[in-house]
A and B are shown apart, each in its own frame.
Chain A
């Protein structure tokens, strides 16, 4: 199975900060990765698909990039509504696997 190692597990930041979250795949997954945002008691919401493509309706302050097996989600300027938990998901091969999650908290 492909392991997705996500870091950091938690992050404190302020409104207006630039933050990055990383997922490293245990083997090559091409660009078969998505990023999701989840707020307490709610279903996940996809932000990025195919490693770097922005889901329709998602603000442009969210972006994704990839270098080899390392995938990065960047939020360019944090807004109050961005404080949530973020997950990556690889869908290159079965079983699909999520990263452990990054809880983004207000500093």
Chain B
């Protein structure tokens, strides 16, 4: 079964750091680009960023709201995706989803169930 499972969410104070993980199974993790998408309470979806695959040199792209504070990485040997979040703000409070697949093709589009990050003092 194709699956993504996020972990690492929790409560953190403003200015703090948190690292989210996403464990993949059921597909060749090293192939697709991988994304993080978040959803603040009662709000819409926001694309956070993505990492490319090895063939594209693991390049990363980010939303302006997180650029310079968040870092996306992957470890293909561990079938894992990561989101390092630094200098957290209250507005970063959200459910964070990892997502894998191909945007332009129907071959795969898999999402995790999400992990909740709460930034509050």
Contact = CB atoms under 8 A, between A and B. Distances in A.
Interface of A: 1, 32, 34, 36, 38, 42-46, 49-50, 53-56, 87, 89, 91, 94-101
Contacts of B2: none
Given A1-B64, A53-B106, A95-B47, 18 more contacts: A32-B103, A34-B103, A43-B111, A49-B103, A49-B105, A50-B104, A50-B105, A50-B106, A54-B106, A56-B106, A87-B45, A89-B45, A89-B47, A91-B103, A94-B61, A95-B63, A98-B45, A98-B47
B62 interface: yes
Interface of B: 35, 37, 44-47, 49-50, 61-64, 97, 103-106, 109, 111-114
B44 A49 contact: no
Question: What is the predominant secondary structure among interface residues of chain B facing chain A?
Answer: strand
A78 B112 CA distance: 27
A9 B104 CA distance: 26
A45 B106 CA distance: 12
20 contacts: A32-B103, A32-B104, A36-B45, A38-B45, A43-B111, A43-B112, A43-B114, A44-B37, A44-B45, A44-B97, A49-B106, A50-B106, A87-B44, A89-B47, A89-B103, A95-B63, A98-B44, A98-B46, A98-B47, A100-B44
A95 B109 contact: no
Contacts of A56: 106
B18 to A, nearest CB: 20
A44 to B, nearest CB: 6
A5 B111 CA distance: 24
Contacts of B35: 96
A89 B54 CA distance: 25
Contact of B47 (A49, A96, A101): A96
- Of B45, B47, B50, B104, which is in contact with the most chain A CB atoms at under 10 Å from its CB? B45
A83 B104 CA distance: 26
B116 to A, nearest CB: 11
